[in-house]
Structure 1
Amino acid sequence: MPNAPLTTRALLLDMDGTLVNSDAVVERVWRGWAAAKGMDADHVLKVAHGRQGHSTMAALLPDRPTEVNLAENRELLAQETADLDGVVAIPGAAAFLAALAAATVPHALVTSADTALATARMGAAGLPLPAARITAECVSASKPDPEGFLKGAAELGYEPADCVAFEDSGAGIAAALAAGMRVVGVGPRAGAHGPTVAVPDLARIRVTASTDGTGGTVRLDFGD
């Protein structure tokens, strides 16, 4: 059955797995970390997707001091920022962002990456950075906490219920749902986590801005 259209006022966009495919880098870095700790890499990666690195470490090693996790997270962020091999755009991402810009749809990036990593990956994928963005430096709690999405909605000037989030991970989808938003789940990981709509990528999404005087709504159609 095809996905029903969604009507909204603003969009909040995750980056990794949603706009940018960075799985190759994430796997290299976190498999290396897991090996150094003697941990199962597949289990580590299941926890890592969508979270800030220190949050992943806290979940996996709950007895470790926070300052140790923060220090190791800085090291991993530096590795990830320098390693752009295999970073590419998700199919349809460039056209989707172009359509949002052309229709002047309010939208913001809400990512667990810091500014340096977000800038590097979006650039490597050939995608423009949205003018509004909530990065790791902007929040006190990582996804699945809803803080980032709530701040993104506030940055754009909309209530959470007037926003649709685009996410790929369990942690990200949980964060957006907890913020009171509808969620478009993108990619192979998303469907298992209860998004409002699930799509394989961004290739067949059609963006139509309202012209009927209803206050700047946008309709999202998801194709077949």
Structure 2
Amino acid sequence: MPSTLTARALLLDMDGTLVNSDAVVERVWRAWAAEHGLDGDAVIEVVHGRQGYATMALLLPDRPVEQNYADNLRLLEQEVTDTEGVVPIAGAPAFLASLRKLPHALVTSATETLARVRMGAAALPLPEVMVTAEWVSASKPDPEGFLKGAAELGFEPADCVVFEDSEAGIAAGRAAGMRVVGVGSRAAAHAPTAQVQSLEQVRVEAAADGSLVLHIA
């Protein structure tokens, strides 16, 4: 059903929300799973939304954290150089264009370098405010990234709406005290505040009082 949300600022995840990078994620993480004798499907189930080291800690809980960080760096190098199949989520170009003069930030588990590479590969403009992996001490589902995004924009958490696709990201947005618009099929199972299949179903307009009105089809 169509719905309307009102906010002061929007906080946007990248992978799966603005950029479809599933092809790269599948290639890199299935190869990693094979190295460690893990089921590729099980790995893909938990990788979305998290920083790599956090995914590894879930899957290999007895492994030293130093090895997770080392593997994370290696996989990041692969992801930065692999942009084949990276495309915008349907509606993302127009959606970001509509936010150009409105308060919004990118909040991603990717590093700044990877965020710039993937947004560039998808031909999407980078928001002026970006909270990347380097900004936080804890990966989603911890709310730290979203709370920092709100603070950078100068708004209270309750005044922000998050756009997310993953279980970890939706949990992080809720833990931050924010409403969440779930984007795509992955999000549907995790009870976001509102749900869309693509960003083509979202229209944002600025009200006279400076608030943002989200029309969700």
TM-score normalised by structure 2 residue count? 0.99
Shift of 1:206: 1.1
Deviation at 1:4, TM superposition (A): 1.3
CA–CA distance in structure 1, aligned partners of residues 84 and 194 of structure 2:
31
Q: Name the CA distance, whole Å, in 1 between partners of 2:27 and 2:63.
A: 23
Q: 1:217 is matched by which residue type in structure 2?
A: S
Alpha-carbon displacement from aligned partner over 1:82-128 (angstroms, at most 9, x marks no partner):
00000000000000000011xx2100000000011000000000001
Structure 2 counterpart of 1:138: 135
Q: CA RMSD in A?
A: 0.6
Matched, 1:105 2:102: yes
Structure 2 unmatched ranges of 5 or more: none
User: Residue type matched to 2:91 in 1?
Assistant: G
Structure 1 residue 221 corresponds to structure 2 residue 211: no
Which of 154, 168, 178 is residue 175 of structure 2 equivalent to?
178
Aligned to 2:163: 166
Structure 1 residue 34: deviation in Å?
0.3
Distance, in Å, in 2 between the alignment partners of 1:63 and 1:158 is 40
Structure 1 position 34 matched with structure 2 position 33: yes
Deviations 1:56-104 (Å, cap 9, x if unpaired)? Answer: 0001111111111001000000000100000000000000000011xx2
Separation (CA, whole Å) in 2 of partners of 1:3 and 1:51:
30
In 2, Cα distance between the equivalents of 1:113 and 1:168?
A: 14
Cα deviation, residue 207, structure 1: 1.0
TM-score (norm 1): 0.96
Q: 2:12 & 2:126 partners in 1: Cα distance?
A: 11
On the 8 A contact 1:3/1:197 being kept in 2, the answer is: no
- Aligned-residue identity in percent: 67
Tell me, which stretches of 5 or more residues in structure 1 are unaligned?
Answer: none
1:10 touches 1:107 (CA, 8 Å); kept in 2?
A: yes
Partner of 1:5: 4
- Aligned to 1:219, what secondary structure does the other structure show? strand
Q: 1:205 offset after TM fit, Å?
A: 1.2
Counterpart secondary structure, 2:199: coil
Aligned residues between the structures: 217
Q: Following the alignment from structure 1 to structure 2, what is the Cα–Cα distance between the partners of residues 185 and 55?
A: 22
Write the letter of the residue equivalent to 1:50. G
The one-letter code sitting in structure 2 at the alignment partner of 1:163 is: C
Please tell me the residue identity of whatever aligns with 2:212: V
Question: Partner of 1:151 in structure 2?
Answer: 148
Segments of 4+ in structure 1 off by > 3 A? none
Q: Which amino acid in the other structure matches residue 65 of structure 1?
A: P
The Cα of 1:3 is off from its aligned counterpart by 3.3
